[in-house]
Amino acid sequence: MQLKLTDVTKKFGDFTANNRVNLTVEPHQIHCLLGENGAGKSTLMNVLYGLYEPTSGTIEIDGAPVSFSGPGDAMAAGIGMVHQHFMLIPVFTVAENVALGHENTRGMSLDLETTRARIREISERYGFAVDPDAVVEDLPVGVQQRVEIIKALVRDAKVLILDEPTAVLTPRETDELLEIMRQLRDNGTSIVFISHKLREVRAVSDVITVIRRGEVVGQVGPETSTDELAALMVGRDVSLTVAKDTAHTTGTALEVRGLTVVGDNGVVLLDDVEFDVAPGEILAVAGVQGNGQTELTQALVGLEEQVSGSARLDGQELVGLRTREILASGVGFVPEDRSTDGLVGTFTVAENLVLDRYREREFAAGPSLRLGAISGHAGSEVNEYDIRTGSVDSPVATLSGGNQQKVVIARELGRPLKLFVASQPTRGVDVGSIEFIHKRIVAERDKGTAVLIVSTELDEIYALADRIAVFFHGRLMGIVGPDTPREALGRMMAGEPTDSVLPPAPWDHSHDDGGSPAGAPAGGSTAAPATAPAHAGGAAAVTLDGDGLDPGAHPADRTTDRPEGNRTA
Amino acid sequence: MSTAITSQSSGPSSGSPEHPPEAALATSAANRAVGVRTLRPAIGLGVLALVSLIVFALNASGQRVDFRFSNDGGAIRLPDVSVPSAPYGWVVTIVLAALAVYAAVQARKLPRWAVIVAGFFFVTGFLVWIVGTAQTPSISITALLAGSVALATPLVFGSLGGLLCERSGVVNIAIEAQLLFGAFSAAVAGTVAGNPWVGLLAAMLGAVLVAAVLALFAIRYRVNQVIVGVVLNVLVSGLTGFLFATVLEPNAASFNAPDRLPHVRIPVLAEIPVVGPVLFDQSVIGYIMYLAVIVVWFALYRTRWGLRTRAVGEHPKAADTLGVSVNALRVRNVLLGGAVAGLGGAFYTLVSVSAFTRDMTAGAGYIALAALIFGRWNPVGALLASLLFGFASNLESILSFLGTPVPSQFLAMLPYVVTILAVAGLVGRSRGPAASGEPYTKE
């Protein structure tokens, strides 16, 4: 079935989210919608799915105009959608989730057996291995996503919209999803693939439509280079790599030994972790969301309750201190969710910039605040960090995601630090701000601060890391050099130990038909001992200009042609 | 776990690259789990043992306590049980102390059997002690339980009504108002029509009216649901109080003297000792109560409506993306919940007393709300919790009748103490519908 959008405009008040968008999705096609966060991709798809009513414009299916008053209509017309945030009910079973809204009944009672059979059938056809009676909240996100796809397929979707489907997946799960998308296409389902990740887009798309600020700015093929795509998406040339010198490190700033965090229910969330971070070094923590990284950062700043082990910063024990004492000892912290933990949305930009410093002499006189000083401080920070805001007195919630994040970064880097801990420093941030924030983090490193970055985006890990620590199920799988191949990191993130992923000696690479990126020195892939921070400046000398570190420069077809089959130990 | 599943998927999907088999092995390990050491159960049991020692054992009256299991006229007679109060107090103390020691050694969550044993001994210990202090230390278990069921009836309807609301995501603090207005409507309509069945219908309609106001403000205008509920309770209390004083009281014969609903005794079954009189010798509303619990349970867990209701209460947006009309379903459920709560209101004026009096529900709506939470938003759980509260209330009235020296004010606190202990998580934390209390709007 052919889906055609003509001059679709969607306005929210004065704000135009989509402006005269034209788009045609042909049958048997994976059509990618590429654009930055906030470019209007999701809005457009919500219009298409009947969640929003378009302000003007028409939607046609096979040449006949349609209008949807709700998702029910869109589904009846053969459009299915997998939302970025899964629309699954956590306490329901897979079958209940799939049946919802589309239930079969036998007399008065619900007939889930038919649904179960359909799930098994689809699951078998695509190799999903989904148990219809599993409770959704117990399933890993990759499987939850398949449940979402099954939901659409059960309703006979002819066009499947996937909204940022890879954001929550491991690299391997991502590859598997791309493979599923190809299979679906070959079986006749057209796919609208929304993403801002250039690598995946190039790997799987038949057509790429680029959207910027709500408008279509170009339609290109998958052979377009990453740099061209990025430039189209952002509207100017961007550098996807961060210029950074080799770290020069001596000694140890942060010394973590046996750090363990236990959750309320007795599950060990962070399991006996041991590593060092040197002054002037960035240790980037890679891992799929929910593998202990959050607990690690929170334990370091005293936000976890059941912590054992030790974390010493320049010899001072942090475990057991209160959060305020930890911050005062020279720790800066960027929490992973700025809107809930990083900022007070209704407070002004100026107030948010002194949230952890309001009682310092500079900003307080006895019990009262020095409002003038706070305002002046905000003014200079807004200039220095290029925070785009109408006024320092605007509520911080009115700023864009990127600018909100800059407020957090400005506040945390505004004090003299010994250790800077940042969790997802650029999540939901536009490319321009990512560039800026990355530069500031590297600058902080160059001042001699120990930096610990947690990120689920491998691109970010590669852009910043002097060394990479990989977490899985609360355990540190190993610490590796910054030029470790993406595929090897992906396997460590899925729980394979370092030594099975990375051969111990360079000559083992002869078995490898192209797994390590061109130009990356093989020796650099050697697992670094967890307790040798100086390593970052030594054997694994970082050169950021190599192809291996530019995430976009991987050949697109690598995702389908993985070399891991040859790696059987 | 994730890759253990995903790696199987490469098999059937032809053409996809094969994954190395060892990947699944290496990734099958999940997070390590350790038992959380906790002394809380031991401390709790220790406190109970101490209370038992001081109150049940050392302060026992020394009388023998008789528990009667059969009515005098019953066809089948069970022997009475006679328990000496002081020795039994010591038995309870020793059992609880032993359990406390066991819990201290184990240092983790109590197993279910230990909770049941501790509960049984503490409650019977309390019963033996307090009846032992009375002038006539003899109590009819049948009367105790039958009274409990009667007192629990409005609570069951109230909590079922609340359940229908909350399961679809609307917090219903206004159960009290629905019970009270149901009672009022039943009295007036029942008297005016001269037919208690009309009163029963009017009770449902009256409570639906209250529910409609709740739905209008909570769903249409998205006012804070707790506040709307509290305001409704105060409003209905004031309104019925005013109408009672100005209309009902001066013209009691024409407005406030409804006939009672019939009492039905099911022949054979009612002859079963203890259980018979408790379950099969009931007002019509009592039988409707059993039916309501079964119907609501079936509807909630076995029908399309139930699936959608639970979905809307957990994750309305997900339901919306599947074409379920969230707010329409919520409005229907709130109104339906009102009708069910109204039946509970009718119990006051058509079964219990055949006249309306000011604020006659006396906070039962709040207890029903507690029963709903204690029963974990489950119809059967709500029934059992309501029975527990009904038991506590009935015990209070029976004890004051037996003439116990414990001040009646303290006894009157009993149902509420039980409520607060229950809701404070005596049996573990309960998880309510995730979206309860959150208005749903499309962006």
Give domain limits for chain A.
3-234, 334-415, 498-568
Q: What is the ipTM of this complex?
A: 0.82
Residue B422 lies in a domain: no
Distance, in Å, from the CA atom of A196 to the CA atom of A551, rounded to the nearest integer, reads: 13
Any residues with CB less than 8 A from the CB of B221 and at least 6 apart, and which? none
Are residue B225 and residue B330 in the same domain, yes or no? Answer: yes
Q: DSSP assignment, residue A253?
A: S
Indicate if B341 and B313 belong to the same structural domain. Answer: yes
Q: Give the distance from residue B317's alpha carbon to the nearest chain A alpha carbon, in angstroms.
A: 7
The answer to whether A179 faces chain B, any CB pair under 8 Å, is yes
Q: Which of B133, B153, B183 is the last residue of a domain?
A: B133
pTM summary value: 0.78
Q: Specify if B425 maps to a domain.
A: no
**A contacts of B5 (beta carbons < 8 Å):** 129, 140, 142-143
Within a domain: B347: yes
Quick one: B199 and B127 in the same domain? Answer: no
B24 inside domain: yes
In sequence order, the 6+-apart residues with CB closer than 8 A to the CB of B218 are B170, B171, B225, B228, B334, B439
Q: Which residues of B154-164 are buried (b: 16+ CB within 10 A; e: fewer)?
A: bbbbbbbbbbb
Q: What is the model's pLDDT at position A249?
A: 76
Top-level class of domain A3-234? alpha beta
- The answer to whether residues B65 and B109 belong to one domain is yes
B8 touches chain A (CB under 8 A): yes
Residues B251 and B395 in one domain: yes
Question: Nearest to residue A428, comparing CAs of A34, A38, A16?
Answer: A38
Coil, helix or strand for A372?
Answer: helix
**What is the residue-wise DSSP string for A416-475?**
--SEEEEESTTTT--HHHHHHHHHHHHHHHHTT-EEEEEES-HHHHHHH-SEEEEEETTE
Query: How many domains does the structure of chain B reveal?
Result: 3
Q: What is the CATH number of the domain that holds B266?
A: 1.10.3470
Q: Which pLDDT score is estimated for A549?
A: 32
Residue B417 lies in a domain: no
Query: What is the span of the domain harbouring residue B53?
Result: 40-133
Clarify whether residues B244 and B356 are in a common domain.
Answer: yes
B429 close to A (CB below 8 A): no
Same-domain pairing of B216 and B359: yes
Residue B242: Cβ-neighbour burial (10 angstroms; 0-12, 13-18, 19+)? exposed
Q: Which residues of chain B have pLDDT under 50?
A: 1-29
In a domain, B428, yes or no: no
**CA proximity to A420, closest of A437, A435, A434, A404:** A437
Max CA pair span of chain A: 75
Compute mean pLDDT per 10 residues along chain A, 569 residues long, and list them.
90 85 92 85 87 90 89 89 90 94 88 94 89 90 91 92 83 87 92 88 93 90 88 78 77 93 85 94 89 92 92 93 94 90 92 91 91 94 89 88 91 94 87 87 93 90 93 92 89 83 51 40 40 38 33 36 36
Indicate if B125 and B8 belong to the same structural domain: no
pLDDT in the model for residue B3 = 33
One domain for residues B78 and B151:
no
Would you tell me which residues 366-425 of chain B have a C-beta closer than 8 angstroms to some C-beta of chain A?
Answer: none
**Residue B88 shares a structural domain with residue B197:** no
| Residue B364, CA atoms < 13 Å, CB-side half-sphere | 31
Q: Which of B 167-206 lie inside 8 A of A, CB atoms? A: none
- Say whether both B180 and B95 belong to one domain: no
Amino acid identity of residue A383, one-letter, is N
User: Has residue B439 been placed in a domain?
Assistant: no
Residues 468-527, chain A: which have Cβ within 8 Å of B? Answer: 472-474, 491, 494-497, 500
B107 CA: distance to closest CA in chain A (Å): 13
pLDDT score, position A240:
64
Closest residue of B to A267, CA-based?
B33
B322 touches chain A (CB under 8 A): yes
Same domain, B354 and B231: yes
Domain boundary among B108, B133, B158: B133
Per the domain annotation, does B442 fall within a domain? no
Q: A100–B35: do the CB atoms touch at under 8 Å? A: no
